Copies of this chain bind each other. A is one copy, B any other.
C-alpha cells in the first residue's frame, strides 16, 4: 500500500472526524487533511458524500468512505497488520460494535443538549449524559481500555468526545471527575497515546468554538 492516496475531509472540532484521525495515526498511515468550511462545503465533499453531505469522509485512492465508524472499520480491514483495533473473536467483535453503536445512539444527543439548549431540556440532557457515562463506566469495568489491555475500536469511537468535556462541564455546571472518576481515568490513559494526544484539540479551544455556536443560537 506504499502508493496509496489517502485524503480526509474533516472539520477540526468533529469528534467523528477524530475517530478517523486517531485510527489513521494508530495505523501510521500518511494522509492529506482537508479542513472543511461547513457553511460553504467544498465541491469535493458534496461529490464524495452526496447522500449525507457531511464530514468526515475518508477518500482512499479516489473512492469515498462515509460515516466515521464505517471508516474506522474500513481502515482496520485495509491496514490489518498494524495495530489491530478489533478483536479477532466474533463475539468480542460484536460487543465492540455494540458499544460503538451505543455511543452513536446515546452520547452525542445528550451531550449536545448540555451546551445547545437551556432550562429543562438542558437539565434532562445533563442527566442523560451522566447516565450514559455511568453505563460506559460499567462496560469498561476494571479494564484499562474498552479494548481490554489494548486501545481499540470502542476507545477510538469515544475518546474524541473528551475534547468537548470542558465545554460540557462549563455549560452544564458539573464535574465529570466527581461523577465518573473511572471514565476520566480512562480518558487520561488514552491521552497518553501519541495517536490521541496529537489528534484531540485543546479543550479550551473547543470551548471557544462552542461559545461562538451558542452566540449564534442566541444562548449567550
Q: How far is the CB of A177 from chain B (nearest CB, A)?
A: 24
Q: How far is the CB of A87 from chain B (nearest CB, A)?
A: 11
B135 near A70 (CB under 8 angstroms)? Answer: no
| Cα separation A70 to B99 with both chains bound (whole Å) | 11
Copies in the complex: 2
B102 near A51 (CB under 8 angstroms)? Answer: yes
Binary B-proximity of A90-131 (CB < 8 A = 1, otherwise 0)? 110110011001100000000000000000000000000000
Which residue on B lies nearest to A76, using beta carbons?
B90
Choose one: B94, B101, B135; the contact of A74 (CB below 8 Å).
B94
B102 near A78 (CB under 8 angstroms)? Answer: no
Chain A interfacial positions (CB closer than 8 Å to B): 51, 60, 63, 65-67, 70-71, 73-74, 77-78, 90-91, 93-94, 97-98, 101-102, 135
